């Protein structure tokens, strides 16, 4: 169920702090079940405009996978793994790599 108060609060934060990727990311998470187009736009916005914001890659890739955009999901997984490697975040890299391997297995993409 949509939490309209939280959504309005996050929208306000996006306006007040347009350079903070967390606000857009959190808003995408709020929308992902009920407003899929808005969630897709927000995930795309964060990945494109804040390419070093590592927390977005795992949920964004899963979102696009679950909504049938396999090519987009694959690209996001790969970009996230590359970023985690660059940032030397071994935990994130391992989580993304495992999820990516499962994604490849389930979709027969390589």
pLDDT band at 1 (very low <50, low <70, confident <90, very high): low
What is the average pLDDT across 79-88?
A: 98
Query: First CA to last CA across the chain, in angstroms?
Result: 36
What is the average pLDDT across 69-79?
A: 97
Residue 102 has pLDDT above 90, yes or no: yes
Q: Which two tokens stand for residue 77?
A: 């997984």
Cα distance between residue 10 and residue 69, in whole Å: 26
Please give the domain boundaries of the chain with CATH numbers for all domains. 4-107 (1.25.40.10)
Percent of the chain with pLDDT over 90: 90
Residue 3 has pLDDT above 70, yes or no: yes
pTM of structure: 0.91
The DSSP string of 51-73 is TT-GGGHHHHHHHHHHTT-HHHH
Residue 2 has pLDDT above 70, yes or no: no
């Amino acid at each position: 169920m949509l939490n309209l108060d939280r959504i309005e609060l996050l929208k306000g934060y996006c306006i007040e702090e347009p350079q903070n990727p967390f606000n857009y990311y959190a808003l995408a998470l709020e929308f992902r079940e009920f407003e899929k187009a808005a969630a897709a736009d927000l995930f795309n916005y964060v990945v494109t405009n804040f390419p070093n914001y590592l927390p977005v890659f795992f949920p964004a890739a899963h979102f696009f996978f679950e909504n049938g955009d396999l090519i987009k999901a694959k690209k996001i997984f790969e970009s996230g793994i590359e970023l985690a490697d660059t940032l030397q975040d071994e935990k994130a890299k391992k989580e993304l790599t495992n999820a990516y391997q499962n994604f490849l297995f389930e979709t027969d993409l390589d």
